[in-house]
Structure 1
Amino acid sequence: MRRAAIACVLVFAALPVAAQVQGVMLDAPVAIPDFILSDEAGQIFSDADLADQWTLIMFGFNSCPDVCPFTLGNLEAAIAETALRVRPDNVPQVVFVSVDPARDAKTVTDYAQFFHPDFRGVTGARDQIDTLIEATDSFYRLMPPDPSGYYTVQHSSSVSVIGPDGQLRAKLQPPFDPGLTAEFLARLQITYRKELLQ
């Protein structure tokens, strides 16, 4: 992630390991380039859908055994907490991007909405996924299949925070506590508004 562009690391920690959030705010926001993905019904999700609202984007795959369900479950709780701290129009949309379209294209929306009915699940052509992966400094790797043809996927666990200007503003690294994550997001929005006034 343009390592030199990281201004600071804000770490909010409670006593247990599971009750913390590591939020990294970028010194210089990174513009998200043009991309086009879609959900299982064919509804488009593109860079245009990032405008004028906060967005949390995470990458994964539907058959992920641990990281994806853990993170999406925490995001559901974090969004509920964030709604108590910010105006309704500033509550971030949550977008789950599957990096495994071959297996997930027909179920990615159902998977995301299992955790919250407002979550969006999308995937698409490999080059479009890779564009968003690179822009958010994320990663994934399709592992070699076993003799039965089954394969798993390695992927980053971070959650990208996109501002209403369509630029990457911060990264969240689980595990995170919903309340502390909500506080981080609320403070990030305050910082963003101050920037607009300068």
Structure 2
Amino acid sequence: MKLSWIIAAIILASAGAWAAIQFSQPKELQLQTSFEFPTPQAIAPFSLTDQHGKAFTNDDLSGKWSLFFIGYTSCPDVCPTTMGKLTAAYPSLSEHADLQVIFLSVDPQRDSTDTLLNYANFFNPEFVAVTAEHKQLYPITRSLGFVYAMVGDGEDYQVDHSASFALVSPNGEKVAVIKPKSDTPGKLPQIKNSALIHDVHALIAKYEKG
């Protein structure tokens, strides 16, 4: 009889230890359109210029969340659509945290300071619009996981570029990439605002809990 009690106690203790381990382990986030990096990724040093003609560097990422995406103001479709969607999502995105949206132009030849200022103001004056010469752009775009390429000749050239976003923490480190997704075969992938807002809130909440 005593042996059976001892065995039962061992089983209960083992079950309790297993439960404690399970509850102590952080749960994986259920993200809808994003990939979270296992560890935050450092961003290469950069020096850009914003729409007000001021320097924009790694220091400007400190103390706030940053949502980056790349494009150019002459973009005929993806960029204005993205800017419009971000304008609609911004109140919700910044509801629980200090978050800046950063439009990174990869067309410095045409996107002057005045052009960027007018473009940002048309959508949301609170957005940050930045650019630089290509030699400054390459390190930061690579570091954020973006790619771009100039296509065509003459004044009407276009720029092929990534359509994803990068979420950067208040420590200035990349924590996630937010990618277009298609739920229907044959339909163009996109980032839905509902999924974007859900994922950004989830990532920020996890980060702030430590």
Does the TM-score normalized on the shorter chain lie above 0.5? yes
Please list the CA deviations of residues 131-160 of structure 1 after superposition, one character each: whole Å capped at 9, or x if unmatched: 111101110001131xx5421100001111
* Unaligned stretches of 5+ residues in structure 2: 1-27, 181-189
Name the count of aligned residue pairs: 173
CA contact (8 A) 2:31 2:199 kept: no
Question: Is residue 205 of structure 2 the alignment partner of residue 194 of structure 1?
Answer: no
2:94 & 2:161 partners in 1: Cα distance?
29
Matches of 1:9 and 1:102, distance apart in 2: 41
> How is 1:32-181 mapped onto 2 (pairs within 5 angstroms)?
32-84=43-95, 86=96, 90-106=97-113, 107-145=115-153, 148-174=154-180, 175-181=190-196
Counterpart contact for 1:96–1:120, Cα < 8 Å: yes
Partner secondary structure for residue 62 of structure 1: coil
What RMSD over aligned residues (CA atoms) do the two structures have, in Å?
1.8
1:62/1:70 Cα in 2 relative to 1: closer, same or farther (>3 Å)? same
In the TM superposition, what is the alpha-carbon distance from 1:10 to its structure 2 partner?
4.9
| Contact kept? 1:81, 1:178, Cα under 8 Å | no
Q: Which has the larger radius of gyration?
A: 2
Q: What TM-score, normalized to structure 2?
A: 0.76
Distance 1:176 1:141 in 2: 22
Structure 1 runs of 4+ off > 6 angstroms?
none
Note the C-alpha offset of 1:35.
Answer: 0.6
Taking the aligned partners of 2:143 and 2:169, their CA distance within structure 1 comes to: 14
Cα distance 1:141–1:66, how it changes in 2: closer, same or farther (>3 A)? same
The residue type equivalent to 1:184 in the other structure is D
The answer to which structure has the higher strand fraction is 1
1:10 and 1:143, CA in 2 relative to 1: closer, same or farther beyond 3 A? farther
